[in-house]
Amino acid sequence: MNINKLNFFLKYTFLIKVILWSFFGTRYLDPTIYVINRTNISFYLIFGLTLFFLLWGFIRFISFVLGYVKLNSVNFYICFILETIQICYLIFDYLIYSLLKIHLDNPLVLTQITQKSALFDFDIGINSIIFTGFFFLAIGLFLYYSWQFMFNYLSNHFLIIKPKSWQRYLIIFVIFLTLGFSFEFLHRRVMVINDRTLYNIPFYKLILGNNLTFTQIPLDSSLIKSKSIKEFPRLTTKKHIVVIQVESLRRSIVNSITAPNLTKFQSKSSGIHSRHHYPGSIMTIYGIFSLFNSLDSHYFESTRPWQIAPLPLQILKSNRYHFLGGSAAPMKDYHESQYMYHAFDNYTEIYDQPTNWENDIALSSWGINTFKENLSLNKPLFLFLFFNSTHHNYSYPPEFSRYKPVVSNHYNMLQLNADKKRQEVFNRYKNSVLFIDDLINTFLKQLYTIISPEDVIIVITGDHGEAFWEYNVWGHVNSGGLYNEVIDVPLIFTLPGISKDIEHSNHVDIFPTIFDYLGMDMAIVSENMHGQSLLRNDKELSIITSISFPYNSDILVATYNEYKLWCYYKQSSNKLSIFKITTLDDKLLEKDSLIINFDLVKEAILNRLVKFY
């Protein structure tokens, strides 16, 4: 391969990457989320130029090495593949961001793909694999033929300047020096003016993430010192407890049409009726953590190194509860969360069936049979079940295909932007909810044949919700999408003999409410948990955080009385700013029209965020 043609190819692909980077920036730097000014835009462009210049130097070095070892025959092809991969990555990252509002280099994505359950979670079908292969091939062919055309056209019509070696090195040095000084100058300014912009620049966290990631602080409370607690409080009353969590189950979908059985069960059952119920965060493991620990979800990273069973479960264990648990998804090894299941006497995971709905059926059968078998122990039983059919790709048996048309089972997520496809995906989700509604109804009927409804507390909720383009976002991983579609989940909470309606509640309140109902001294709750008993005063403050908050994202929502306060939090300086206020139904409010002492509210939120640090 002629070295001039190779050099021209690398310059040509460099230009394409710069054009793509500039075009994609119009979506990445969203003025509705970030403060956009000339400093931020300039830094974004300089960051991209610096990155591509370094990559160009790296590939030129590879080309030099290949030429030095006499491998000129493969020199171009290796450089060609590397450049094609870079351009494909930029385009795929843009497509994924358009769909999920998250970059492929996000620490969450990197962590997710290294999990044992990665293939199970992504559920990649043959269509996606074929699409990716053809996409890569199409980009490669476009690069090859457009490069050939451009080279031939320019060489025939224009004089291509060929600088001498020393001139070439001088040009490279000047470019490197200019980019370096520009990068450092703008980086300092953007950090001072508005470092939130950095959260949304591709590759920034991967390369310079230490500017956004903070030390995880260990907790300093009896939660961690629970082994030293000589005596846990006693329960004056004991009842069986059944907790069911359903993947991606949002509150609005549990209605008389898509979930008639659960809706009817809730209307006929005594207990807590919450108009809005929130998980700790918008990720499954955080949703389970906030429920089991009665702690806000951002404490997950701080408690995980201790690997101590959640305090609420320890309290029940000390009161002779026998723990049974199962999941239709690989949860125990997920993000090193094994410690949350240390209290369980019998815990299983069933995810070896061909489909999620078959796993859920098997789990339901296991749950009822195991519960029945352990009644002979004459101990109060705690049963936890996690159903997974409502996880994408939204699974259900053929007889529950009520909503049509539906997208094929292993749909390609990158092809979901068309309105028709969106409705087809939403139909799949609604059908999966119909199935889960029927499955849980069958389980409850079987449960009530072996125990009386008066002898058991039932909790049915979701780990988080799911958006279907209501705010131009699909799924639940978008850190800025803390709308009700994603964070408002159903709560069916039966407490025999109790009936109370409340405005809003949180996962962290479930165990404190159970403990209060069962007659426990509540001092240990106020000292070690964020939750409160919903049987007492109405809920005032609740916190729902974005994924990996505050280590890799800075957005939280605080529900305060009848308001939702949308906040940015800087852990490094422990500062909080409110950037939007809505009703609990997500209707935008004008800050100036509200009679609220915002200083006191921010102080309350900050105290909550660092309560046990």
DSSP letters, 331-383, are -TTGGG-GGGGTT-SEEEE---SSSHHHHHHHHHHHHHHHHHHHGGG-S-EEE
The amino acid sitting at 191 is M
pLDDT for 161: 55
Given a cut of 80, whether residue 330 has pLDDT beyond it is yes
Higher pLDDT, 246 or 206: 246
The amino acid sitting at 158 is F
Buried b / exposed e across 374-383, counting CB within 10 Å, b at 16+? beeeebbbbb
Bridge partners (DSSP) of residue 459 are 243, 493
Cα-based angle 306, 309, 312 (whole degrees, multiple of 5): 130
Tell me the C-alpha to C-alpha distance, in Å, between residue 2 and each of 6, 7, 147, 153, 417: 6, 9, 14, 16, 42
pLDDT for 534: 95
Q: Mean pLDDT throughout 568-573?
A: 80
The tens digit of pLDDT for each residue in 474-524 reads: 888 776 678 999 999 999 999 999 999 999 999 999 999 999 999 999 988
Nearest to 93 by CA among 84, 85, 102: 102
Q: How confident is the model at residue 213 (pLDDT cuts 50, 70, 90)?
A: very low
- Distance of alpha carbon 283 from alpha carbon 337, whole angstroms: 13
Q: What is the pTM of this model?
A: 0.85
DSSP assigned state of 480: T
| CB-based contact 500:273 (threshold 8 Å) | yes
Tell me the C-alpha to C-alpha distance, in Å, between residue 581 and each of 503, 588, 589: 17, 6, 6
Nearest to 285 by CA among 324, 242, 342, 338: 338
The tens digit of pLDDT for each residue in 159-199 reads: 455 555 656 667 666 776 777 767 676 666 666 555 566 76
Highest mean pLDDT among 178-182, 265-269, 406-410: 265-269
Flag the least confident range among 24-33, 131-140, 344-353: 24-33
pLDDT over 70 for what percent of the chain?
Answer: 82
Higher pLDDT, 412 or 321: 321
Q: Mean pLDDT throughout 133-140?
A: 86
The amino acid sitting at 148 is Q
Bridge partners (DSSP) of residue 456 are 240
Peptide bond into 496 cis (omega under 30): no
Q: How confident is the model at residue 336 (pLDDT cuts 50, 70, 90)?
A: confident
Largest CA distance in the chain: 92
pLDDT for 246: 97
- CA dihedral 183→547→107→53, nearest 10 degrees, is -30
pLDDT for 599: 87
- The residue count for the chain: 613
3-state helix, strand, coil split of the chain in percent (to 5) is: 55, 15, 35
Given a cut of 90, whether residue 241 has pLDDT beyond it is yes
Highest mean pLDDT among 128-137, 196-205, 271-280, 604-613: 271-280
22: exposed, middle or buried (C-beta count within 10 Å: 0-12, 13-18, 19+)?
middle
- Distance of alpha carbon 465 from alpha carbon 282, whole angstroms: 7
Nearest to 283 by CA among 464, 462, 104, 123: 464
Hunting for tokens 């030293």 — which residue is that?
A: 228
Crossing angle of helices 311-318 and 284-293, in 10° steps, is: 40
Nearest to 46 by CA among 201, 186, 176, 175: 186
Higher pLDDT, 457 or 79: 457
Query: Within a 10 A sphere around the Cβ of 120, how many other Cβ atoms?
Result: 14
pLDDT over 90 for what percent of the chain?
Answer: 42
pLDDT for 275: 94
Q: Give the chain's mean pLDDT.
A: 84
Hunting for tokens 């800087």 — which residue is that?
A: 570
